[in-house]
């Protein structure tokens, strides 16, 4: 891993947050690189710092780091709403939402009711391939919002499954892969 914040197998960012040395696993570094703020204070570096503090018995420090992460997330600028392009009705074989849902499960991610996954799955299925390509950035932003609510453990699990199964490492790559799988499915 080529990261200027890794020195002597230690993550400088997570170590500063924890106030002690943090030696991340390679999968943690991969997960950090696909964050919206890679190589910075993000959910992965915070999660590693929290885990090291908690495991060393400093639960108060772990709680303070967790609280600062929650405050940081609340301060992120909300995105401008997209004007979604209403495409023509998709053919029944162009169910991109079904492909994306199956792909998300390959990462080891289980949707929760609060993520809005069912309504987005239906929306993507209605749009079909052409509509999903037209609204690609809106789909990526929805996935990003859901991704930011994931725990550090879920992030590491997804990164590990992505590396092990040669799945895309970016949200844009996920959307593109779901479209590709839909295009190459029988009947298209």
Residue finishing a domain among 75, 104, 130? 75
- Whether 26 is covered by a domain: the verdict is yes
**Rounded CA separation 132/143 (Å):** 13
The reply to whether 19 and 69 lie within a common domain is yes
* pLDDT tens-digit map of 57-98: 999 998 888 888 777 766 766 666 666 666 666 566 679 999
Q: What is the mean pLDDT of residues 127-156?
A: 86
Q: What pLDDT, on a 0 to 100 scale, did the predictor assign at position 29?
A: 87
* pLDDT tens-digit map of 97-123: 999 999 999 999 887 766 777 888 999
Q: What pLDDT, on a 0 to 100 scale, did the predictor assign at position 10?
A: 94
Q: Where are the alpha helices (DSSP H) in the chain?
A: 12-18, 26-33, 43-55, 59-75, 96-106, 117-134, 136-148, 152-165, 171-183
137 against 88, higher pLDDT = 137
- Whether 1 is covered by a domain: the verdict is no
- Whether 87 is covered by a domain: the verdict is no
- Whether 21 is covered by a domain: the verdict is yes
Q: Is the pLDDT of residue 155 over 60?
A: yes
- The percent of residues above 90 in pLDDT, for the chain, comes to 35
pTM over 0.85: no
- Whether 170 is covered by a domain: the verdict is yes
The reply to whether 172 and 136 lie within a common domain is yes
The reply to whether 111 and 158 lie within a common domain is yes
The reply to whether 116 and 67 lie within a common domain is no
Q: Indicate the average pLDDT of the chain.
A: 84
Query: Which range (6-10, 80-84, 179-183) has the least confidence?
Result: 80-84
**Rounded CA separation 43/76 (Å):** 13
Closest CA to 46 of 27, 22, 26: 22
- Whether 122 is covered by a domain: the verdict is yes
Q: How many domains does the chain have?
A: 2
**Rounded CA separation 170/175 (Å):** 9
- Whether 44 is covered by a domain: the verdict is yes
**Rounded CA separation 101/178 (Å):** 9
Structural domain of 151: 96-183
The reply to whether 14 and 70 lie within a common domain is yes
């Amino acid at each position: 891993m080529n990261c200027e914040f890794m020195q002597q197998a230690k993550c400088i960012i997570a170590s500063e947050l924890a106030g002690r040395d943090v030696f991340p696993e390679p999968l943690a570094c991969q997960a950090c690189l696909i964050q919206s703020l890679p190589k910075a204070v993000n959910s992965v570096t915070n999660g590693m710092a929290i885990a090291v503090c908690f495991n060393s018995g400093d639960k108060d420090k772990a709680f303070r780091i967790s609280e600062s992460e929650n405050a940081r997330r609340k301060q992120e600028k909300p995105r401008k709403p997209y004007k979604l392009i209403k495409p023509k009705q998709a053919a029944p074989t162009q169910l991109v939402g079904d492909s994306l849902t199956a792909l998300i499960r390959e990462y080891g991610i289980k949707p929760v009711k609060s993520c809005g996954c069912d309504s987005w799955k239906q929306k993507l299925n209605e749009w079909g391939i052409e509509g999903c390509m037209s609204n690609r950035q809106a789909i990526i932003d929805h996935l990003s919002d859901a991704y930011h609510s994931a725990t550090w453990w879920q992030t590491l699990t997804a990164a590990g499954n992505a590396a092990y199964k040669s799945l895309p490492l970016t949200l844009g790559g996920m959307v593109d892969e779901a479209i590709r799988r839909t295009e190459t499915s029988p009947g298209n």
